[in-house]
Amino acid sequence: MTATTLPDRAHRAAHGARVVVVGQAVRFVLQLAGLAALARLLTPADFGLVAMVTAVVGVAEVLRDFGLSSAAVQARRLSEQQQSNLFWLNGAIGVALAGGLVLVGPLVERFYGTPGVATVVALLAPAVLLSALSTQFRARLNREMRFTALAVSDVVAQAAALVVAVSIALARGDFVALVGQQLTLALVALCSLALWTRWLPGRPRRGAGMAHLLRFGGNVAATQLLGYLSRNVDTLVVGRVLGDVAVGVYSRAFQLLMLPLSQINAPATTVALPVLSRSQDDPADFRRLVVRSQGILLTVVLGAVSLLFTAAPLVVEVFLGPQWEDAVPILRLLCVAARSRPPGTSPTGASWASASRGRTCASRS
């Protein structure tokens, strides 16, 4: 390691952290504004209908990435042909998953016993494909530590999605507003990320040395899928047993909890993975970065959860409205549960360390 490597990396990490935090703060404001506006324009049944479908579509969202974004970011060397192959593979997976969702929509509706579920599944299926196509554009920017481009893309997409959602809610006043929000978010993010990278994938070719990337991606996908299922089985159960209104209230309480936590964990993960990947050949530096970042993250997350528990009635009234008062006890229970688990919903701690070094929990088991 040269004498300038560590200071340069620390400078880029600090700059990246500042940019991502600012971008995440803007997104946080937009998300809160959207939550407050849509909660007053739509009913719990509208939110519940989309939440039940999102719990199923989310499985496809995990699989469409197949861990290939993490594989691209953590790789010591990644050729243009390898990333082009990853792009086309993500696209093929996205097409298959989007088509599969349309086919299983009636089965999902039968599972919940709620009319309209199959329609929402079909409407949200294109979002999976759009997100799949954006995967390697995002990974390319992340690998190059172009955090400003990532932050701008996310903010622009969030703002456009909010405008579309509120406009449809004012015009129609039903669940289509939430569907339009997700579709707009995926489409604008894809266009913005592609413009920032100025990268055109080449034709897929064999013999590019893809095996290690696919193995790593498969392990990441397995880990993420298990995590996703463990976090969303509650929505499936509530929707199946209690129906769309109950799951609508539950989903808004859950979103109130996750909004601040995601603002903390998402930028931390965005900055940590590429930075730690560059430190994997220096064990002492690597351990120091992991321990320090996790200590800060844990302190901030526990503080946010404690504050949210105390202010739950005020938070629900301000951001959802008085008609959502049933969400208060649910929010407090979720805060208690959040304190008993490691911070975040994306790879942190040991998972950060493993992912940045090209290993996952699944690969070690």
pLDDT value, residue 176: 95
Residue scoring higher pLDDT (292 or 320): 320
Q: What are phi and psi of 36, to 5 degrees?
A: -65, -40
Residue 3, pLDDT > 60, answer: no
> What's the mean pLDDT when you consider all of the chain?
81
Q: Are 354 and 364 in contact (CB under 8 A)?
A: yes
Q: Above 80 in pLDDT, residue 112?
A: yes
Q: Which band of pLDDT confidence, cut at 50, 70 and 90, is reported for residue 121?
A: very high
Residue 264 has pLDDT above 70, yes or no: no
From the list 56, 126, 57, the residue with the least C-alpha distance to 98 is 126
pLDDT band at 125 (very low <50, low <70, confident <90, very high): very high
Q: Tell me what the mean pLDDT of segment 285-314 comes to.
A: 76
Share of the chain above pLDDT 70, in %: 79
Average pLDDT over residues 36-56: 91
Position 352 scores a pLDDT of 46
Once rounded to an integer, what is the mean pLDDT over residues 165-190?
95
Buried-exposed string 21-58: b where 16+ CB fall within 10 A, e elsewhere: bebbebbbebbbebbebbbebbbbbbbbbbbbbbbbbb
Question: Please, what sign has the CA dihedral across residues 280, 285, 290, 293?
Answer: negative
Q: What span, in angstroms and rounded, lies between the C-alpha atoms of 62 and 353?
A: 21
Tens-place pLDDT, residues 209-231: 788 888 888 888 888 888 788 77
Query: According to the per-residue pLDDT averaged within each range, which of 35-39, 204-208, 269-273 is highest?
Result: 35-39
DSSP 324: G
How large is the C-alpha radius of gyration of the chain?
Answer: 20
At 191, the pLDDT band (50, 70, 90 cuts) reads very high
Token match 């089965």: residue?
107
Residue 353's pLDDT is: 47
Q: How far apart are CA 193 and CA 147, in angstroms?
A: 11
- pLDDT-derived band at 269 (thresholds 50, 70, 90) equals low
Residue with more model confidence, 350 or 236: 236
Q: Which of 200-209, 268-277, 319-328 has the highest mean pLDDT?
A: 319-328
Averaged pLDDT, 187-194: 96
